[in-house]
Amino acid sequence: MSNLLVIPARYDSSRFPGKPLALFEDFNGKKISLIEKTWQLALNLNSFDKKIIATDDIRIKDFCEGFGAEVCMTSNDLRNGSERVAETLNLQDKSYKVIVNLQGDAPLTPIWVIEGLVKELEKSNYEVATPVLKCDQGTLNKLISDKKAGRIGATTVVFDKNQKALYFSKELIPHINQKNLKNNLSSVYHHIGVYAYKSDALKAYIKFPQGNLEKQEGLEQLRFVENDISIKCVISTLRGNEFWELNNPSDIPIIEKILKKND
């Protein structure tokens, strides 16, 4: 069996309608859409036999086919990216060992993080894996700034000694003790919105009802946690690069700045 990469792309985002088609300035000074930048990232990955964009919106389909992407049309009543990836898997004519959900709001995700995630899941007893980054002071400042401004931004996670996820939240978890913060002892981990699933776990996911935690936080991965499917948090490194996600329009200049710096 081989591996499948799916980029779920929804037009009607509650916080940022039309987000996949949002334009920002690339490192070379040219404008590029979020979805095309994510597709370019996917093309540089070697662990996958098939790469596909999954959407329910004809505008996104036409746009993506315009730059050469393969597109799968999915139902318009799906509630999140994992459901869209699961439906895409069910529409394929072959089986896949590992399926990766590369969400389109994280085009700054390093290649080695995604490739490492696949390798980690292939050798693991876990059914789902996702990358996490220990927050440096700059990232913590951005998280704190978003919270103070009332913006729903990045996700944080806590996990046990075996790196099994205990909880994900749009709040800052664990609580930041100000004394520890001043001494750079914070243990906040930033969750990168990429998921690797084994096929059976993903097929089970779409059959589970939404739980209260998933609904309250608006985080799809909590459905696995609420149904006792373990998620491994793979601690990743940026190797000197910076990372940020496009959650709100105010994130565009941040990503533009990082693109120019990383390049």
Answer whether 129's CB lies under 8 Å from 236's CB. no
Kindly report which listed range (8-22, 135-149, 152-166, 172-186) carries the lowest average pLDDT score: 172-186
Structure tokens at 223: 């459905």
**Cis bond upstream, residue 131 (ω within 30):** no
* DSSP bridge pairs for 177: none
Closest to 129 (Cα-Cα) out of 223, 236, 237, 231: 231
- Residue 181: the pLDDT is 62
Please tell me the predicted confidence (pLDDT) of residue 182: 61
Reported confidence tier of residue 184, pLDDT bands at 50, 70, 90: low
**Arithmetic mean of pLDDT, 105-114:** 88
Q: In sequence order, which residues have a C-beta less than 8 Å from that of residue 128 and are 6 or more positions away?
A: 121, 195, 196, 197, 198, 201, 221, 224, 229, 230, 231, 232
- Tens-place pLDDT, residues 124-139: 999 999 999 998 888 8
pTM of the full predicted structure? 0.92
> What is the C-alpha R_g of the chain?
18
Which helix (H) or strand (E) covers residue 195, if one does? strand 194-198
Looking at the chain, list the stretches that DSSP marks H as alpha helix, in order from N- to C-terminal side: 34-43, 58-66, 81-90, 111-122, 137-148, 178-182, 199-205, 212-217, 222-226, 252-262
Highest mean pLDDT, choosing among 105-119, 183-197, 249-263: 105-119
Mean pLDDT, residues 156-171:
97
Strands 96-102 and 2-9: parallel
The distance between the two most distant Cα atoms of the chain, rounded to a whole number of Å, is 56
Q: For 199-235, how does the pLDDT look when each residue is reduced to its tens digit (9 = 90+)?
A: 999 999 999 999 999 999 999 999 999 999 999 999 9
Residue 234 φ/ψ, nearest 5 degrees: -90, 110
pLDDT more than 70, % of the chain: 95
Calculated CA dihedral for residues 205, 206, 209, 213, nearest 10 degrees: 50
Span 78-91, pLDDT tens digits: 999 999 999 999 99
What percent of the chain lies above the pLDDT cut of 90?
A: 68
